[in-house]
């Protein structure tokens, strides 16, 4: 299994330096005698300063992939495959080392900003404490750093709000505080799991713009896990579409959204109501994503696919680069066979 290291080295030689390389990431759960595969051998990398959008519907395994990278999948869950961060393999580290890594080299933000903050401490104390956990700072230095971070994430009157409690912040401002906390360790990777789902659209737009700016300015890689194609289109550089634990299509955001190629991505994009069209009916993909333990053989999408071949029912398709020369790749026999 030298695959991940080689990919990391090759990319470093090219100068692209992927912050994160993921190879064959698999998450399984033992359920009685059966093994349920929630994430089924996914590969991707994210360069520094790049935003990768990992999209999919509920149950596609996208959040679990994020949790596996963070080392947050606990027993009975089991993680296989390789995760490389800045050229170092991190999935094999012991729990204490993983714990040190989180917050320091990998930041994480989640959907609900309120549960991520301690209601009994001021946000300034929480930030300063986090900073002093990661760096040797005197209290007044930590305070200065914390105020600077609050300013960086766009909290007006940062110095004054330093001594306020989480309940004194609105939802959008809380999510900014959570982002500031995640930035405290100056991570090279930020895992953002549905960071805007709990927010109103007007606030959503601000948070998404903020994440894009942070990736560019700090050269931080961002893994943005979301179901919202609109959010992805606004900020992601590349997209990986997941279905039933597998990546079925990757490509640049512009490419995948404007010209989806995989039948699932096509159906997904066509089912989204848009202000830009006026259809009487939305395209719909009949049926639902298979449950864990009931993933069909071959291509997991074949029972819902309008163009499935006989081969799709038997053989699992692999990601194949776009023959037409695009940057994307799809896992589809129909596309591979022409």
Give the residues lining the site for another protein (CB under 8 A): 57-58, 151-154, 156, 170-173, 176, 200-210, 212-213, 227-235, 257, 267-269, 271-286, 288-289
CB of 293 to another protein, least distance (A): 15
CB of 51 to another protein, least distance (A): 11
For 54, the 3-state DSSP assignment is: strand
Tokens of 287: 């049926």
CA-wise closest residue to 107 among 44, 196, 181, 171:
181
CB of 183 to another protein, least distance (A): 13
Nearest CB to another protein, comparing residues 137 and 269: 269
CB of 134 to another protein, least distance (A): 23
SS (H, E, C) 62-100: HHHHHHHHHCCCCCCEEEEEEEEECCEECCCCCHHHHHH
CB of 123 to another protein, least distance (A): 17
Nearest CB to another protein, comparing residues 57 and 86: 57
CB of 201 to another protein, least distance (A): 5
For 152, the 3-state DSSP assignment is: helix
Q: Are 51 and 209 spatial neighbours (Cβ–Cβ below 8 Å)?
A: no
Kind of pairing, strands 189-193 and 221-226?
Answer: parallel
Nearest CB to another protein, comparing residues 82 and 193: 193
Using alpha carbons, list the distances in angstroms from residue 195 to 100, 113, 207, 217, 270.
Answer: 23, 8, 8, 19, 24
Tokens of 209: 């713009």
Nearest CB to another protein, comparing residues 133 and 151: 151
CB of 198 to another protein, least distance (A): 9
Nearest CB to another protein, comparing residues 254 and 336: 254
The 8-class DSSP code of residue 124 comes to H
Nearest CB to another protein, comparing residues 65 and 204: 204
Q: Determine the Cα angle at 52 with ends 321 and 1, to 5°.
A: 60
Buried b vs exposed e over 254-270: b needs ≥16 C-beta within 10 Å?
Answer: ebbbeebbbbbbbbbbe
Nearest CB to another protein, comparing residues 94 and 286: 286
Q: What radius of gyration, in Å, describes the C-alpha atoms of the chain? A: 21
């Amino acid at each position: 299994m030298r695959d991940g290291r080689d990919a990391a080295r090759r990319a470093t030689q090219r100068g692209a330096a992927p912050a994160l390389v993921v190879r064959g990431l698999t998450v399984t759960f033992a359920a009685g005698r059966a093994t349920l595969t929630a994430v089924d051998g996914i590969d991707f990398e994210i360069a520094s300063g790049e935003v990768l959008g990992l999209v999919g519907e509920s149950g596609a395994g996208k959040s679990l992939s994020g949790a596996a990278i963070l080392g947050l999948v606990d027993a009975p869950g089991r993680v296989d495959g390789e995760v490389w961060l800045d050229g170092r393999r991190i999935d094999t580290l012991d729990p204490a080392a993983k714990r040190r890594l989180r917050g320091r080299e990998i930041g994480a933000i989640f959907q609900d900003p309120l549960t991520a903050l301690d209601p009994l401490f001021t946000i300034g104390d929480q930030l300063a404490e986090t900073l002093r956990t990661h760096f040797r700072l005197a209290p007044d230095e930590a305070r200065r750093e914390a105020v600077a971070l609050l300013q960086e994430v766009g909290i007006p009157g940062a110095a004054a709000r330093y001594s306020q409690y989480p309940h004194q912040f609105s939802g959008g401002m809380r999510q900014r505080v959570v982002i500031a906390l995640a930035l405290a360790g100056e991570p090279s990777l930020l895992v953002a799991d549905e960071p805007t789902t709990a927010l109103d659209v007007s606030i959503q737009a601000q948070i998404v713009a903020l994440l894009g700016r942070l990736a560019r300015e700090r050269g931080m890689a961002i893994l943005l896990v979301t179901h919202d194609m609109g959010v992805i289109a606004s900020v992601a550089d590349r997209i990986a579409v997941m279905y039933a634990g597998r990546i079925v299509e990757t490509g640049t955001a512009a490419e995948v959204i404007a010209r989806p190629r995989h039948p699932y991505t096509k159906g997904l994009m066509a089912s989204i109501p848009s202000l830009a069209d006026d259809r009487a009916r939305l395209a719909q993909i009949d049926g639902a994503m298979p449950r864990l333990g009931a993933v069909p053989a071959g291509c997991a999408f074949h029972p819902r696919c309008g163009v499935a071949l006989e081969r799709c029912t038997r053989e699992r398709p692999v990601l194949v680069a776009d023959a037409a020369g695009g940057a994307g790749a799809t896992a589809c026999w129909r596309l591979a066979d022409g």
